[in-house]
Amino acid sequence: MPEADGLTHDLEAMAGALSARTKIVCIANPNNPTGTWIDGATLQAFLDRLPRELVVILDEAYYEYVMVEQGEHAAVHHPGLVLCRTFSKAYGLAGCRVGYAVADPGIVALVNRFREPFNLSLLAQEAALAALCDRDWVLEKVALCNVERLRLEAVLAELGILAAPCRGNFVLLRHAEAGSILQRLEDQGIIPRPLGPYGMPDCLRVTVGTSDENEAMLAALRSILDSLD
């Protein structure tokens, strides 16, 4: 299903595309790879239009960044809702490949029929438990990341290349010469993510780093943009 303006889920189009053959609806919120966010009221209104027997997978991999910035957002409800979260983003455990899902017991039972019996290593389990015990550290790091993200977005907006505000650990820029910008940033050791494979060849996604790393990226970006004028 195409995204509205190429950046977020087109919920109206998704609802209109439902048919008797539809079994699962998948929504990433915040969206991946664009970072756009659908507020709880809008999302709930969409869920209310869906058949009760439909399975809805809600991918909230970047949930912590919204939670810290917006406060605890209202939970959404649907009988077939499967809420998925991960330790790969805010918790920094991407190498452990550990996450979790919350769903109706009947859905969980079906998933367990196909889940590998030892799908998580002992190391991954211990790392996840340790992360859960240090919530203050996680929230502090997420808050710092959000501050830097907003600062980067303000600069990108000033430069006229901000594609959209994000709710994750990255920023999104849009420029007609995105391919050239990508190559020249890579030449300086800065590796953005090109979004051409997602149908957005004019967009680049840049992970939020430390304050010094972000300054280096902005300096390189400004120099490149000046040379393109």
Q: Is 35 exposed, middle or buried (0-12, 13-18, 19+ CB in 10 A)?
A: buried
pLDDT at 225: 97
* E strands present in 120-202: 170-174, 193-194
pLDDT at 4: 47
Which parts of the chain register pLDDT below 70? Answer: 1-6, 70-74
Q: How do the domains of the chain map onto residue ranges? A: 3-133, 136-228
* CATH class assigned to 136-228: alpha beta
Burial class (CB in 10 A: 0-12, 13-18, 19+), 112: exposed
CATH of the domain spanning 3-133:
3.40.640.10
pLDDT in tens, 72-127: 566 899 999 999 999 999 999 999 999 999 999 999 999 999 988 888 999 999 99
Per-residue pLDDT, 68:
74
The conformational region for residue 6 under phi > 0 = left, psi -120 to 50 = alpha, else beta, is: left
Q: Do domains 3-133 and 136-228 have the same CATH topology?
A: no
Q: What is the structure's pLDDT at 70?
A: 67
This prediction has a pTM of 0.89
